[in-house]
Amino acid sequence: MSSIQPRWYDYIRYNLYWFALTTRGQTISPIIVPLLVQQFVGETAKGTYLGTIRLWALMVALLIQALMGMLSDRSTHPWGRRRPFILLGTIGEILAFTLIGLAAGLQGLEGFWVLFGLYIFSMFSSNVAHAATQGLIPDLVPEPLRGRFSGVKAFLELPLPLIFVSFVVARWIGAGHLWAGIGAVIGVFLVCAAVTMTIPEQRLAVPSFALDWQPILRLAMMTGMFTVIILAGGAVIRWGVHFTALLGADTRRWLVGALGLVIMAVVVVVGVLGSLRIGLGRDWNLAPSFPWWVVNRLAYLVGSTNLATFLLYFLQERFAEFQGERAAAPAASIVMVVGIFILLTTLPSGWLSDRLGKRPILVLAGSLAALGTLLVVWAPNLTLLRVSGAILGAATGLFYAANWALGTEIVPSDQAGRFLGLSNLAGAGAGAIGAYIGGPVADAVGYTALMLTFGILFLFSILALARIRPSQSAA
């Protein structure tokens, strides 16, 4: 930790890079990649190909963030532990976005596979920087001030970049100016990285701990197991899509939608239990409720993450006026509303969780999210879609605070960092499961059916709470 007492502007410069990371994430994943995938592979297979690219990118993110966090912890670079990694990640992201802009001129599967490689590279670069940025507050801020710094972090990480993407980046891309949108993101990275480089990090004289590759090897094995289970689920849904091809449209819609829901639920449960068996090893029995807490978290995030991932395609399907790039701006505006309501409800959720218990708040969050999804499917215009987004955002704010509070109570106090760190299985796995399995569902029976599937998964997340033993939680 730095011996220098933070000054008022440190609240901004220690946290400003989160603005760049979220701007990047809200531009590339829900806007640029879906539009380019659609351009390269066409309408009939865009969901399947988007699912493929998301699966492998997110598995890379899961591994790289953990690895780079460990390496930056030990760094003895003259610039400090975190800034060299942030600079390297920034350079990588600028290169990745530039090459993605050039790749937009390609066509067909050649364009898709070039995009695939560049998106993987972007995920690698962003997680090099992300892992290091997470260490700035613990390294440099005295413990009594960390709550205030974290509050500024939340502000720079959520509403501000979402508003910027909605009103600037998405509007330019939606108007057909892809390079203007890419240029805006690159400019954000340059400014935020330049400010971050002024942080007064001190050189670490010697590594703070010995390099131990065993945890990374175990994480790699866990990620491999999780990936295999998701791939198996994807193979089953592809078989189901093919098997039902000759059925009537309504019958097929119900069968494929139900099969997709069952496969996602099974992959969530089996993936978490199987992967954590490897990740925890002998310590599995230290917190028997922990895997079911991750199941609750993953099931909810599969719904919330992929509603945003496929929102652009859903708008194109439902509204004639939002075809092609014209769906980018309204999709971003809905995501912005979701983000604002997440921020507005996160703090009250913590207070309510303490007073009413975590489980009731999680039940409320899952129920509200299911209701919000139903309204998304029903909404006849953009105004009501934004109202639906507000409900989903409020539900997700309630969920984030209550779920994390519950998790801190059920893990062993002397290994909380290790156990909670494994919860990134849910963060990365949510996008992979929903996109890889959900993409073929949408290609076969439409994005409305897929959205309903995600809505039911919110309710499924509530069922997982029954397996969390009351004796392990005060909730």
More confident residue, 15 or 139: 15
Cα-Cα-Cα-Cα dihedral of 112, 116, 118, 120, to 10°? 170
More confident residue, 69 or 263: 263
Residues 309 and 191 in one domain: no
Of 211, 231, 253, the position where a domain reaches its end is 211
Distance (Å) of CA 146 to CA 4, 72, 149, 158: 14, 20, 5, 18
Q: Is the pLDDT of residue 463 over 60?
A: yes
Residue 90 confidence (pLDDT)? 98
Residues 312 and 457 in one domain: yes
Residues 194 and 288 in one domain: no
Residue 101 confidence (pLDDT)? 97
Residue 404 confidence (pLDDT)? 81
Residue 346 confidence (pLDDT)? 78
Q: Is the pLDDT of residue 271 over 90?
A: yes
Residue 102 confidence (pLDDT)? 97
- Mean pLDDT over residues 88-104, rounded? 98
pTM score of the predicted model: 0.89
Q: Is the pLDDT of residue 272 over 70?
A: yes
Residues 197 and 291 in one domain: no
pLDDT class of 107 with cuts at 50, 70, 90: very high
Residues 187 and 237 in one domain: no
Residue 145 confidence (pLDDT)? 86
Q: Is the pLDDT of residue 140 over 60?
A: yes
- Mean pLDDT over residues 231-246, rounded? 96
Residues 17 and 88 in one domain: yes
Q: Point out the least confidently predicted range of 138-147, 218-227, 312-321, 378-387.
A: 138-147
Token pair belonging to 130: 């992300």
Which region holds residue 201: left if phi is over 0, alpha if psi is between -120 and 50, else beta?
beta
Q: Point out the least confidently predicted range of 5-9, 182-186, 443-447.
A: 5-9
Report how many helices (DSSP H) and strands (DSSP E) the chain contains, helices first.
21, 0
Token pair belonging to 208: 């703070």
Token pair belonging to 82: 């975190």
Residues 233 and 127 in one domain: no
Q: Please give the Cα distance from 255 to 261 (Å, whole number).
A: 10
More confident residue, 451 or 150: 451
Residues 53 and 148 in one domain: yes
- Mean pLDDT over residues 319-330, rounded? 93
Q: Is the pLDDT of residue 384 over 90?
A: yes
Inter-residue contact 82 to 201 (CB < 8 Å): yes
Of 167, 196, 211, the position where a domain reaches its end is 211
Residue 472 confidence (pLDDT)? 46
Buried b (16+ CB within 10 A) or exposed e, 173-182: bbeeebeebb
Q: Please give the Cα distance from 209 to 70 (Å, whole number).
A: 10
Residues 133 and 266 in one domain: no
Boundaries of domain holding 139: 1-211
Q: Give me the CATH number covering residue 408.
A: 1.20.1250.20
Average of per-residue pLDDT values in the chain: 90
Q: Is the pLDDT of residue 414 over 70?
A: no
DSSP string, 46-105: HHHHHHHHHHHHHHHHHHHHHHHHHHHHH---TT-SSHHHHHHHHHHHHHHHHHHHHHTT
231 Cβ partners below 8 Å, 6+ apart? 55, 436
Residue 475 confidence (pLDDT)? 45
Residue 1 confidence (pLDDT)? 45
Of 211, 238, 259, the position where a domain reaches its end is 211
Token pair belonging to 14: 């220690």
Report how many domains make up the chain.
2
Residues 177 and 224 in one domain: no
Residues 252 and 200 in one domain: no
DSSP string, 337-402: HHHHHHHHHHHHHHHHHHHH-HHHHHHHHHHHHHHHHHHHHH--SHHHHHHHHHHHHHHHHHHHHH
Residues 194 and 244 in one domain: no
